[in-house]
Amino acid sequence: MMNDTPVKKTLGRVVKSTEMPELSKPFSPMQLAKAITAKRTGMKLTLVDVSQALAISKPTLIKIEKGDVTVQLHNVLKVMEYLGLSFSLVSDDIAHSNEEVSDEQWY
């Protein structure tokens, strides 16, 4: 199954651009990792590009893109912001569903 698409690079070079994972699926460190790699390659940036721009070492960046969670939240957030990725918080509220729908009258 062909999962990668070649994309033109700045200097006229072609690089494998890894595919963006399904953002709708439940969050996992690997999903995050893949999204980061996909974004970076899609933006035609090398590990060194990002590494230099954010003052993060290449090995650390690689850890992040491998889904290693033993990294500082700080570093992950820096990378995400730089690449235009963000989180959204999801709470397992176990449905307040019906009772106490609101203080407001809605009908």
Partner DNA sequence: ATCATTAGTCAACTATAGTTTACTTATACA
Partner DNA sequence: TGTATAAGTAAACTATAGTTGACTAATGAT
Residue type, 49: D
* Single residue of 13, 92, 95, 96 touching a copy of itself by CB under 8 A: 92
- Min CB(66)–DNA separation in Å: 6
Whole-angstrom distance, CA of residue 77 vs CA of residue 30: 15
> Closest approach of Cβ 15 to DNA, in Å?
5
For 15, phi then psi, to 5°, come to -130, 150
User: Would you say 11 or 90 has its CB closer to a copy of itself?
Assistant: 90
By CB under 8 A, is residue 45 in contact with a copy of itself?
no
CB 61 within 8 A of CB 37: no
